[in-house]
Every structure is written in C-alpha cells, then in structure tokens.
Amino acid sequence: MTYFISGGAKCGKSSLAQDLSVALSKGGRHYYVATMISTGSEDNDRIRRHLADREGMGFETVECFRNIMDCLKIADKNGVFLVDSVTSLIQNSLFPVEKNYEMDLAGANRCADELVEFSQTVRHAVFVSDYIYSDAERYSESTEIYRKCLADIDRRLAKTCDTVIEVSAGQPIIHKGDLCI
C-alpha cells in the first residue's frame, strides 16, 4: 500500500504518517526517510521535534537528501517507508548545495521520476508533502518554479498512490482509497 499525505504547515501530517507507518509495519521494519538538509537553527529545531515525536515508535532513520532509490541500498524494500518530506526532497534536488543552490530543473525531474519509481518498488510507502502552492500570492521566479515542481510531483504521487489524504486542522480528509488505521 502507498499513501500520499498533504496539507498545510503544522496541521498533523507527520503524526498521521507516523501512526499509519507503524500500523502498516505490523511490528516489522519501518523506516523514517529523513530528507531535510538543515540550514540553521529553525531547521534543527524542527528535526529535534520530529525525532522526539517518533521516539519509541521503532523507526529506523535513513537520511536521504536526494536520489530516493539510494535508500534501498541500506533498507529492506519490504519494510514500510515514511518519506518526510517530498517538499524537502524536491528542494534539495532543484537547488543542490553542491551547485551553490543554482536551479537544476533536470534534478527536479529526476526526483519526480524516482519518487514514482520508489512508490512502485517498495511494499509500503507513506509520502508527506506540504500544500504550499494554493495561495494567490505571487513569489519570485525561482519560488514559483519550486511551487510548480512540487505541485507536479504531488499530482504524480496522488495518481500513483493507493490512498490520498489531505490533513486540515488535524483532521484527515480522504480523497482516494481508505485509511488502514
């Protein structure tokens, strides 16, 4: 089973994704695929909160900042994978550190293709993404490209995944499939 979970900031997406991943694992291996590259104290605080939130839940953390298929070199594809978050993964691919954060559209396209391939390769996956492309505000060109790339990836994952859930104010809204917990 594959799940795609989206919603606004701090709405309960990660908590739902963690509970869902643990339930899917049925006591077996479950991996937290950490995708955020910290750029400062705010990111470090978020990482600490996420670590604390999943403490005692049995997750094995796999850091994967790009090339999602690479995590299968160290993790069992028959486990449950919580990819948190698609938003960071596309950011890392579109604006790679080693290219001095210059935009890499080919990297973003590879990221999208690999996420779909990953969803079709592993037994269970839960993808978390931020719904950051729905407001009417106009941003810089690079931010607009980022939002467009994320929206494209989210559409592709929503089409591919068995279940699609939007979280709003802590409440899951199921748009496709069903919740196993």
> Coil, strand or helix: which one is 47?
helix
Q: Has residue 1 got a pLDDT over 80?
A: yes
Q: Model confidence at 39, in pLDDT bands (50, 70, 90)?
A: confident
Q: What is the mean pLDDT of residues 142-150?
A: 93
For 85-116, how does the pLDDT look when each residue is reduced to its tens digit (9 = 90+)? 999 999 999 999 888 888 999 999 999 999 99
For 73-83, how does the pLDDT look when each residue is reduced to its tens digit (9 = 90+)? 999 999 999 99
Pick the residue with more confidence: 43 or 112? 112
- Tokens 């990111």: give the residue: 43
CA distance 15 to 1: 18
- Tokens 């991943």: give the residue: 21
Closest of 161, 156, 154 to residue 179, by C-alpha: 161
Phi-psi region of 161 (alpha: psi -120 to 50; beta: other; left: phi over 0): beta
- DSSP H or E stretch at residue 14: helix 13-25
**pLDDT computed for residue 150 by the predictor:** 95
How close are the terminal C-alpha atoms of the chain, in Å? 13
- Tokens 């070199």: give the residue: 73
Q: Has residue 181 got a pLDDT over 90?
A: no
Side chain identity, residue 59: F
Domains of the chain in start order, with CATH, are: 2-176 (3.40.50.300)
Q: Has residue 38 got a pLDDT over 80?
A: no
**pLDDT computed for residue 43 by the predictor:** 73
pTM over 0.75, yes/no: yes
